[in-house]
Amino acid sequence: VLLVSSSKVPNKWVVPSGGVEPDEDFATAALREVAEEAGVKGTLGRFLGTFE
């Protein structure tokens, strides 16, 4: 499980979450959500799967 520090609430850890926009793939959505929720740019490793 990936946890990132929240860019909106100091000292809070969050699991990045959100939806995939109609014009993007899973990888783009993952990078966008981490940037939105943690305020950081990341890189992707191996795809493990999805959960709901």
Question: Is residue 3 pLDDT above 70, yes or no?
Answer: yes
Catalytic residue flag (residue 36): yes
pTM comes to 0.68
HSE-up of 11 (CA within 13 Å, CB side)? 0
Question: Are the beta carbons of 12 and 6 closer than 8 angstroms?
Answer: yes
Q: Of these residues, 21, 24, 33, 36, which one is catalytic?
A: 36
Task: Name the band, by pLDDT with cuts 50, 70 and 90, for residue 1.
Answer: low
Alpha-carbon torsion (11, 18, 46, 42), positive or negative? negative
Tens of pLDDT, residues 13-39: 888 778 899 999 989 998 998 888 878
Handedness of CA 43, 20, 48, 27 (dihedral sign): negative
Task: Tally the residues of the chain.
Answer: 52
CA distance 41 to 50: 20
